[in-house]
Structure formats: C-alpha cells, structure tokens
Amino acid sequence: MFERLSEKLESVFKKLRGHGSLSPELIKATLREIRLALLEADVNYKVTKELERRVEVRASGADVAASLTPAQQVIKIVREELTEILGGTWTPIQYAPAPAVTPIMLVGLQGSGKTTSAAKLALRLTKEGRHPLLIAADVYRPAARDQLRTLGEQVGVAVFSEVGPSPVELARLGVTHAKHHALNVAIIDTAGRLQVDEQLMAELRAIKAAVSPTEILMVADAMTGQEAVNIAAGFHKEIGLTGVILTKLDGDARGGAALSIRSALGVPLKFVGVGERPEQFEPFHPDRMAQRILGMGDVLTLIERAGESVDREQAQELGRKLRKKGELDLEDFRQQLLQVRKMGSLSSILKMLPGAGKLKIDEADLDGKQLLQVDAIISSMTPLERHKPNIISSSRRQRIAKGSGTTVTDVNRLLKQFTQAQRMMKQVSKMTAGGKGGKGRPRLPWG
C-alpha cells in the first residue's frame, strides 16, 4: 500500500539532503513536488492544497528545530501534518452502555467487500471480548445470506437470517434476537447497489430509524481511489456516516482514498482490510499510517499482529527446547514459518520495519507460495528425517522431492536454509547461556 507515494516522497526528501538550510525557494520547490506526488496518488485536490499550505507555514516558521537537517525538518513536519489530515488519532467503535445491544450498520455499494468486512469486524470484536451477532439484511443479492452464514462459521460468530421479512424488519428482529441471547453487538449487513439511488437510501434510512445504530460504517473499495470519497460523500449526506472501512488497501499502491476521506468528509477512517483472510483487518491509526507512507515502518502494528497470530504456547515450548539443547529440528523450523505466515506476507511484514523500504527485496523469495512449498517438503519427510536431517541422503532427497511435488534443488535449498537457521540458534543459545563459566552472563562473540 502507498508504494508509489512512498517512492515519490523518498525521492523528494533525498534531494533535500545536499542542502544546508531551508530557503523560501527550496521550500516552494519541495512543496510543489510533494503536491504532484499526492495528486498522482489520487489524493483529493483540496486536501492536497491544505496539506501544502500547512507544511509551508510551518517550514517557513520558527518551530523548525535548529538541530535538524533540512530533510529531517521537512519530513518531521510532513509526518505530523499527514497524521493530522488522516485523522490525528484512531477513532474506536462507540458502544451502547451495558447491557444494551450495540447495533452497527454496514453500508456501501455492491462489490465493495461489505459482507466480508462484516465477518472480519465480528472476528475482531470477538477477540476484544465482545459477543457479536451477524444479521443478514441483504435480501436482494443471490446467495448473500449463504455467504454470510459461511463466513460466520469461519470466524465462529452466529448469523441471524430469516426468509420473508423485509430488510427493516430483519434488522429489528436481529437486534432483538441479540438482546435475548446475551449478545452485545449486532452487525447488520445491508444490501448494496450498483450506484447510490433513492430506493437504497430510503431503505437505509428506515433501518436506521428502526434500530438506532451506534455506528453507521460505509465499506469502500480502496482501489476505486477518489471515487470512494465521492461515494462516501453521497452516503454521508443521506444517512450520516460515523466512519469508513476501506477494503483492499494492501492492493492500493496509490492510497488516495485513505488520505482524503477524513479531511474531505470529516468522517474518520476506522478500519482497513489488508488481505483476504478474516484476521487481515486492522484499526486505522493515522500516526502509524503516516510513518508507513514516509518509509519509517510501523513496529507497533507489527507487534500487535504478532500478538494476535503467534501461538504463545508453541513459542514458549520452542524457547524451552532452545535453552535445553540449543538447536531446533525441521519440525520446529516448519512451525515457526507457519506462525510467521499467519501474520501475512513476508514482504508486508518487512515493510513495517523502519528502513526496510530502502532494501532491494526480492518479492519472489517472499511469496506465500514459498512457505507452502517448505511445508510440503517437510510434510513429505518421515518423523525421523524431521528430527535428524543429517540422515537425509541423496536417495531420500529424491523421494522427498517426488512426494512434495518439488525438485531435489528445492529440497537442497530448504536444507541449506535450515542449517543456517540452526547455526544461528546455537549461537544465540551460547550467548544467552553465558558460555563456559559465564554464570548466566551473556557472552557476546566479540567479547
């Protein structure tokens, strides 16, 4: 996400590094390039002009720290102003006072990812200790109910669905059902349209009047760029949005919609979809997103993602094994790779690390298919081979390659990677054990 914009801004800031001070001419030239980069990223023109104005005022003013270089000064100001335009701070879901049910309406056009986002939101709220119910209020789209039921099963959330009642009555009955079954959040998946029309809006207004939702969230496809902002403006005018969910943000290299919505509409961007899997759904933190755009990484989100994805018991067991014998076997190796896989693609993980954007990353080496191939190869080994890789002879490698649908070269590559990882683990074990006579004091290889 934001790949093109990040590259453009990195190029702009690179040109500043050779200057010793910020002259008015340099500020204007820099701001012109920033403006062009934002417009190319499909950011709303008014939003772009406002950002440019605010950066110019601050870069020309007295609040520029004398200890910073011109590039650092501009980056600092742009980061802070980007954060402000993106919303300043994350706006969480507003809940009704307990024990009342919190109704949340999801609205949007067809194909925006509304039904999928309903299930993703339900999963996230479940992890936060809430007890949601999904309500299938889209009675027009073929198989809409079936899709929501299937997604509900995947995320472990009940789905309220009946044939016959109108969408308004379904929403009302669903909220009542949630109340009677001690469920405290009701997520209403409403019907979409190919375009904003009066019939759709009349139905949404009726649902709003019937259930008095605490939140009305519009689901928009980030790939539609500036059009997503225009669509959101139409919904906001008619029914009053409280927030926006952007889907497919991981596939949007420009990012104009995310950068425009808050400033253009005054409506916060609350969540973003960053992948197809149910867990790939994140709160939108403006400060973290500004850092990502400027190539500073997003370590906090990475830590949170790891906390949600990594099996703590498995991690602790691996730690015990390493402390005990200072090595891992192929089964341990596979389990750790699968844990990483749950956090998303390796390329997306690396891009959250500060400075990683400057690395020349080979996407082929980071493809999720590579991890699936590793899993297939290790699964084709016997338990003995996994625990004692040194017994894997040439004939065994041929059998493993055939059984996993790979080549002997692929098997050799995996075993080489494993050997390197094993050496590293042994070194870590020696350092943390304190070495001979170290009495628990870390012994560094150069100390």
Six token digits for residue 392: 């894997």
Q: What is the pLDDT of residue 117?
A: 95
For residue 293, give the amino acid letter.
Answer: I
Helix or strand run (H / E) with residue 283: strand 281-283
Nearest to 254 by CA among 84, 89, 436, 7: 7
Give how far the C-alpha of residue 366 lies from the chain's centroid of Cα atoms, to the nearest Å: 17
CA geometry: angle at 301 spanning 296 and 302, to 5°? Answer: 85
Which DSSP helix (H) or strand (E) runs through 273? strand 269-273
CB–CB of 196/218 below 8 Å?
no
List the chain domain ranges: 3-85, 102-296, 306-433
CATH 1.10.260.30 fits 306-433, yes or no: yes
| Percent over 90 (pLDDT), the chain | 32
CA distance 365 to 346: 9
Q: What is the pLDDT of residue 442?
A: 37
Amino acid at site 244 = V
3-state SS, residue 191 = coil
Architecture in CATH for domain 102-296: 3-Layer(aba) Sandwich (3.40)
Helix (H, G, I), strand (E, B) or coil at 11: helix
Q: How far apart are CA 305 and CA 282, in angstroms?
A: 9
Give the domain 3-85 fold: Four Helix Bundle (Hemerythrin (Met), subunit A) (1.20.120)
Which ranges of the chain have pLDDT less than 70?
A: 1-2, 61-68, 251-255, 295-327, 336-369, 421, 424-447
E-state strands within 18-163: 102-107, 132-136, 159-160
CA 380 centroid distance within chain: 33
pLDDT of residue 362: 45
In degrees to the nearest 10, what's the CA dihedral of 151, 155, 156, 159? -30
Phi, then psi, of 233 in degrees rounded to 5: -65, -40
By CB atoms closer than 10 A (0-12, 13-18, 19+), residue 319 is: exposed
- Which residue in the block uniquely carries the two structure tokens 């390796």? 346
